[in-house]
Structure 1
Amino acid sequence: MSVTRSGPAITADSRTVAPVPGRAARVMTRPPVVAAGQGLSAPAAIIRHAVLLITGVLILVPFVWMVSLSLKPPGEIFRASFSFFPQQWYAVQNYTRALTEAPLPQYMLNGFVVCAVILIVQILVCAPAAYALAKLEFKGRHLLFGLVLIGLLIPHQVLALPLFILGYQFGILNTYAALVFPFVVSPFGIFLFRQFFKAIPDDIVHAARLDGLSELAIVWRIMVPMALPAVIAFSIFSVVSHWNDLFWPLIAVRDENLMPPSLGIMAFKNEEAGNDYGPLMAASTLIVLPLAVAFIAAQRWFIEGLTTGAIK
């Protein structure tokens, strides 16, 4: 802001001082920028943190209960009163049975193989597609991006029957390929990478082209390394989704040696006849543990990958 009068205004340190006749000089400054959340009153802040705390507790209660049951003998599991620590520690017996009475290590190995192959193929497909939608000009680009958004809205279960028929015609049912091929293209991955690539200045792309790099070289040597937080965030989403997927493996495979953890835990429950929940909860804890460790280790990049592409 400025005040119009005869004589120059005095400017210092981004503040404009304009003498006004008959009153003291008035200093006009820009209003301070308040960060998100700092303007809340004390009661509002307390309510917000209370809601977050209650939500977090409700989410964690099933996992705490699962770990607690994995430490208890059968006689303590169905007691009316709940206590986290058992009176008689039965952890060694439960976890030993979880690892020996069913091929749990094989289930987890299958899960690692399937999730790793799906993630690698998805990045190989989604990164160039997202780069084309973000940085290249061609006819139908907006239409293609609209189709990607439509793909985000379609539940995967809707496509289960045509995918099953397609897998049968290709003869890949009851193989690792059957667990991988429906997830080769990820609309969410294309969307996330596109948003992140759009935040990268175009001058970087132009400079790379002047250096003689091809479009694919720009994707893999410049864009993907700069979008590492988005890659990590998408990797966590992809691995968690397919590690926990039960619907498609239940349709695609029958061989116990090919079952991923989510389907293998059902076979374990059937072997246990649903009566001894201690080993079953121990097996569930072992299946959840790698995901929890991976998320805690990559939490900072996960949050950055979700927020950077949304900030212009």
Structure 2
Amino acid sequence: MNGSFPDRLVALLENTGAWLLGLLWVLPLLFAVWTAFHPAAFAVRFDLAAPLTLENFVQAWAAAPFPRYLLNSFLLVTSILAGQLVLCTLAAYAFARFEFRGRNVAFLLVLVQLMIMPDALVVENYRTMHAFGLIDSVAAMALPYMASAFGIFLLRQTFKTVPRELDDAARVEGAGTLGILWRVYVPLARPVYVAYGLVSISYHWNNFLWPLIVTNSVTTRPLTVGLAVFSSTDQGVDWSVITAATLMTAAPLLIAFLLFQRQFVQSFMRAGIK
């Protein structure tokens, strides 16, 4: 037998803990799936003979303008991600490769921003959006998040691993500064972009507080705020419809993660982040 008894005991405890944590994570999801695909009478009781139904999804889709909510959420996450990728790429490249006065101080300020909770800036962000006349718009939800300290840090760590010899080779071929960034650094950091894109999309797709504060009409609300429509009815809480709406909201993120989970894990390993 390989390994001593204490080592095997530690491994057993670690595996048991991992299985318990995984079970705690998956049980709510299984409950949501069960409730969404069964009539309301079976929402809180388990019965193998319970009939399957899609009526809960039909009711959830008809109870609110889900197509508009989906469009608003899509516009929100894509506009934020596009702005972040451009700004974070340029900032990370400057911090990784350029020497300029105050670089370390500026990067320290970026790291300090990581310690500030976004909710602490809600009041000032609202005042700024109100001054610009952008309240109740997708732009108001997106602009405060266009720059990301985490994205700058993650890409800087990746760009610093690129050999400088590649810069010299690109300059010999006639590439300028932006050409080197686009043709050398961006392709090499593609897995990191995929991972960061998933993190950004997941966060802003699920963000609730800021969209709730800055939107007033149905035409601008994203899915998370629109989902509040299902929180209660005159007859009480309909868990079957609520869970069906929740699954429709979470499905795009689950699909995206399943498609890109390998790139997601590999990119953080390459960046040295646990």
TM range (shorter): over 0.9
Q: In 2, distance between residues paired with 1:272 and 1:296?
A: 38
CA contact (8 A) 1:73 1:89 kept: yes
Where does residue 223 of structure 1 map in the other structure? 185
Q: In 2, distance between residues paired with 1:221 and 1:243?
A: 31
Q: 1:143 to 1:270 in 2, by over 3 A?
A: same
Where does residue 68 of structure 1 map in the other structure? 34
Aligned: 1:310 with 2:269: no
Identical-residue share of aligned pairs (%): 33
Where does residue 25 of structure 1 map in the other structure? none
Where does residue 123 of structure 1 map in the other structure? 85
Q: 1:272 to 1:130 in 2, by over 3 A?
A: farther
Q: 1:207 to 1:246 in 2, by over 3 A?
A: same
Cα offsets for 1:176-224 (capped at 9, x unmatched): 1111101110001001100111111111122222322222222222111
Which structure 2 residues correspond to residues 51-130 of structure 1 after superposition, within 5 A? 51-79=17-45, 83=46, 87-130=49-92
Which structure 2 residues correspond to residues 249-268 of structure 1 after superposition, within 5 A? 249-268=211-230
SS at match of 2:178: helix
Alignment match of 1:152 (pick from 110, 114, 117): 114
Q: In 1, distance between residues paired with 2:138 and 2:86?
A: 19
Alignment match of 1:291 (pick from 242, 253, 259): 253
Q: 1:155 to 1:309 in 2, by over 3 A?
A: same
CA contact (8 A) 1:68 1:86 kept: no
Q: In 1, distance between residues paired with 2:108 and 2:268?
A: 21
Where does residue 172 of structure 1 map in the other structure? 134
Shift of 1:86: 5.6
Letter in 2 for 1:231: Y
Letter in 1 for 2:13: I
Shift of 1:90: 4.8
CA contact (8 A) 1:94 1:282 kept: yes
Greater CA deviation, 65-74 or 178-187?
A: 65-74
Structure 1 length-normalised TM: 0.82
Shift of 1:43: 2.3
Q: In 1, distance between residues paired with 2:48 and 2:219?
A: 34
Where does residue 94 of structure 2 map in the other structure? 132
Q: RMSD between aligned alpha carbons?
A: 1.7
Where does residue 42 of structure 1 map in the other structure? 8
Where does residue 212 of structure 1 map in the other structure? 174
Q: In 2, distance between residues paired with 1:221 and 1:259?
A: 38
Runs of 4+ in 1 over 6 A off after TM superposition: none
Q: In 2, distance between residues paired with 1:306 and 1:251?
A: 33
Letter in 1 for 2:217: D
The answer to which structure, 1 or 2, has the higher relative contact order (CA under 8 A, 6+ apart) is: 2
Shift of 1:271: 5.4
Query: Which ranges of structure 1 fall in alignment gaps of 5 or more residues?
Result: 1-39
SS at match of 1:256: coil
More helix by share: 2
Q: 1:234 to 1:93 in 2, by over 3 A?
A: same
Query: Which ranges of structure 2 fall in alignment gaps of 5 or more residues?
Result: 1-5
Q: In 2, distance between residues paired with 1:252 and 1:191?
A: 28
Cα offsets for 1:152-177 (capped at 9, x unmatched): 11000111101100000000110111
Greater CA deviation, 276-285 or 48-57?
A: 48-57
Q: 1:152 to 1:272 in 2, by over 3 A?
A: farther
CA contact (8 A) 1:72 1:86 kept: no
Q: In 2, distance between residues paired with 1:283 and 1:60?
A: 18
CA contact (8 A) 1:164 1:252 kept: yes
Greater CA deviation, 300-309 or 87-96?
A: 87-96
SS at match of 2:54: helix
Aligned residue pairs: how many? 268
Shift of 1:104: 1.7
Shift of 1:270: 4.5
Where does residue 6 of structure 1 map in the other structure? none
Greater CA deviation, 104-113 or 193-202?
A: 104-113
Q: Which has the larger radius of gyration?
A: 1
Q: In 2, distance between residues paired with 1:77 and 1:257?
A: 31
CA contact (8 A) 1:265 1:283 kept: yes
Q: 1:309 to 1:78 in 2, by over 3 A?
A: closer
Q: In 2, distance between residues paired with 1:191 and 1:139?
A: 19
